[in-house]
Structure 1
Amino acid sequence: MNYTLNQLKIFLKVVQTESVTKASEELYLTQPAVSIQLKNFQDQFDIPLTEVVGRKIYITDFGKEIAEAAENIINQVHAINYKTLAYKGRLTGKLKISVVSTGKYVMPYFLSEFMKEHTGVELNMDVTNKYQVLESLENNTVDFALVSILPTTQNIEKLDLLQNKLYLVGSSNLDIKKRSSTKEIFENLPLIFREKGSGTRQTMEKFFADNNISVLKRMELSSNEAVKQSLLAGLGYSIMPLIGIKNELQNKELQIIPIKELPIKTTWSLIWLKGKKQTLVSAAYLEFLKKETSNIVNSKFMWSELY
């Protein structure tokens, strides 16, 4: 046996995702690189670890046992690394954050310098929909959550990070005729919605209700990226967070359609359960944000003031 720690990590990720493609995405590797390392690892065993039926990969019972052993080995390696750094007086441990899907355009900028400064901290950031984010917070499985709409049923504390602005957006190739009223615009334009449970959708629906606007519902999509690609293809229009369409606006692929009632303004906030006992890592991260948030906003997000 001559397998490497990297091969153990790759095999474990393939088992967890049941997909070479998904494993490569989560490991930030190319699919061929994952396939090669998976094959090299499996070749060291006389008993198959996986089997492919059609296009789907299945894990054998023996493979599941090896995956469990691999996970134990990887955890022990992490423990050794943590102990070594802790002995040197370095900050070590895990930082667990759950982020609503559009927040993926925001959160990395508020993590980058902290992670560079504290190399012994392991980041676990889950990007999902609002309901699951709040569920993970309620179950106390994360340190923090990033949301643009504060929950009303949970007792929380918060730290505001960045203003969130939402505009009506469509393809630059579409000719938008000026109409006499906001109601006419929304009654005639085909709109694309996010899925139920999305914070963006909740914001859109509140806007329509507050302004007594009827809309022609055209399509429902489950991610901000899917909505953006549909807009680029000219399938319709949507109210979208400015933060997720920076490049498309600058490249003049998408256009903001002027509506006097827009933008809708909310706030990106980092939240946590009130009274939660912070770990050394999460407490250090909060202190970092309290000192650096304004600097991060000024250096990374001033472009949004142009809109």
Structure 2
Amino acid sequence: MNYTLHQLRVFYEVVQYRSITRAAEALHLSQPAVSIQLRNFQQQFDAPLTELVNRRLYITDLGREVAELARQILDSADLLEHRASTKGEELTGRLTISVVSTGKYVMPYFLRPFLAQHPRVRLSLDVTNRQRVVESLRANEVDFSLVSILPERLSLHSLTLLPNILFLVGHPEVDCGPNADLSTVLEQRPLIFREVGSGTRQVTEQYLYQRGLPLSPQLELVSNEAVKQAVMAGLGVSIMPLIGIRNELELGQLSILPVPGLPVRTEWQITWLQDKTLTPTAAAFLEYLRLRGEEIVAQSFAYLAAYPPE
């Protein structure tokens, strides 16, 4: 075989994103350049590593095995590069993080100063649904994952970054009165759910179950943004994390509906496998979060303490 580290990195990113286009964006390459490298790499195997079905890219069993080996080789290469750096204090290597969709409002604030301090660190940030985040964590495809509810049946370490506060919100014209409960509100407006498996969906269902309310959604949407737009359009109400609706609340496009038992609180946590050996880059990022996490929360998320507004 005659593969290169560059080809391994290209193939690994394609597997991570399940998309040549998104891999190209992450690698800062053109789509044709990624396609050429992927084709040259696949030609060295007797069986296909990927399959294109109805314009969707699928990874074969062999492809997944090769991707795991590629990850190990790339981690070793990053470690070697770090050790051989001409400046002992200069951090190099790759940092891979998977983030649940609403976490896109959280993770960049913790990454920006770290990457500014270590410009040679290469970041791979996958913002996706919770199922994919858990899969990437279980398969040891990432250094860390950001979640608001820890996955079950996985042996994990975790570090809490900040609270995740969820309110019932609706269109500003919705007025449920000061003492209404959710059942009263739902007599006039349907409750909009996130998709099955999302952390927000789990919180919503637990809240309903504790109050003996029906768990069957009339409306179910697959992203926080979609739910937000639906609520703003007056299609219904929803239990939503404050982290993703702050601007709309301040602009008067959404309003918090006061009902008993809300807000609900969970925690945004960075998590990683218990038996995982962290690369120097990942270990440095974790230490940075432990040292500066509270400072970043105070600077960028102080508004969390101001809700509900008096």
Partner of 2:229: 229
Amino acid in the other structure paired with 1:199: G
Amino acid in the other structure paired with 2:291: K
TM-score with structure 1 length normalisation? 0.74
Match of 2:191, SS state, is strand
TM-score with structure 2 length normalisation? 0.73
The question of 1:277 aligning with 2:277 is answered: yes
CA RMSD of aligned residues (A): 3.4
Q: How does 1:24-39 map to 2 (within 5 A)?
A: 26=25
Partner of 2:166: 166
Structure 2 distance, partners of 1:296, 1:245, is: 20
Partner of 2:123: 123
Q: Could you list the runs of 4 or more consecutive aligned residues of structure 1 that deviate by over 3 angstroms after TM superposition?
A: 16-19, 26-29, 62-69, 82-85, 179-182
Match of 1:240, SS state, is strand
Q: In the superposition, relative to structure 1, how do residues 111 and 234 fare at CA in structure 2: closer, same or farther (>3 Å)?
A: same
Deviates more, 1:232-241 or 1:288-297: 232-241
Question: 1:165–1:241: 8 Å Cα contact kept in structure 2?
Answer: yes
Q: In the superposition, relative to structure 1, how do residues 120 and 18 fare at CA in structure 2: closer, same or farther (>3 Å)?
A: closer
Question: 1:97–1:125: 8 Å Cα contact kept in structure 2?
Answer: yes
Partner of 2:174: 175
Deviations 1:201-236 (A, max 9, x none): 011001100121236733111111111111122211
Match of 1:141, SS state, is coil
**Which structure would you say has the larger Rg?**
1
Deviations 1:163-199 (A, max 9, x none): 0000011122x23232643322234421111111111
Query: What 5-or-longer segments of structure 2 have no aligned partner?
Result: 1-9, 44-73
Q: In the superposition, relative to structure 1, how do residues 184 and 85 fare at CA in structure 2: closer, same or farther (>3 Å)?
A: farther
Partner of 2:211: 211
Q: In the superposition, relative to structure 1, how do residues 27 and 96 fare at CA in structure 2: closer, same or farther (>3 Å)?
A: closer
Question: 2:176–2:185: 8 Å Cα contact kept in structure 1?
Answer: no
Match of 2:218, SS state, is strand
Q: Offset of 1:161 from its aligned partner?
A: 0.4
Structure 1 distance, partners of 2:148, 2:26, is: 28
Deviations 1:67-112 (A, max 9, x none): 989xxxxx9xx98xx5798222311111111111111100111111
Question: 2:205–2:215: 8 Å Cα contact kept in structure 1?
Answer: no
Partner of 1:87: 86
Match of 1:290, SS state, is helix
Query: What 5-or-longer segments of structure 1 have no aligned partner?
Result: 1-8, 43-48, 50-58, 70-74
Partner of 2:293: 293
The question of 1:255 aligning with 2:239 is answered: no
Structure 2 distance, partners of 1:177, 1:253, is: 17
Question: 2:98–2:125: 8 Å Cα contact kept in structure 1?
Answer: yes
The size of the alignment, in residue pairs, is 261
The question of 1:135 aligning with 2:135 is answered: yes
Aligned-pair identity in percent equals 43
Deviations 1:255-306 (A, max 9, x none): 1111121000000011111121111011111110111011011000001211
Partner of 1:201: 201
Q: Offset of 1:134 from its aligned partner?
A: 1.2
Structure 1 distance, partners of 2:148, 2:208, is: 18
Partner of 2:303: 303
Structure 1 distance, partners of 2:146, 2:245, is: 19
Question: 1:169–1:257: 8 Å Cα contact kept in structure 2?
Answer: yes
Structure 1 distance, partners of 2:121, 2:84, is: 10
Structure 1 distance, partners of 2:200, 2:209, is: 14
Q: In the superposition, relative to structure 1, how do residues 67 and 212 fare at CA in structure 2: closer, same or farther (>3 Å)?
A: same
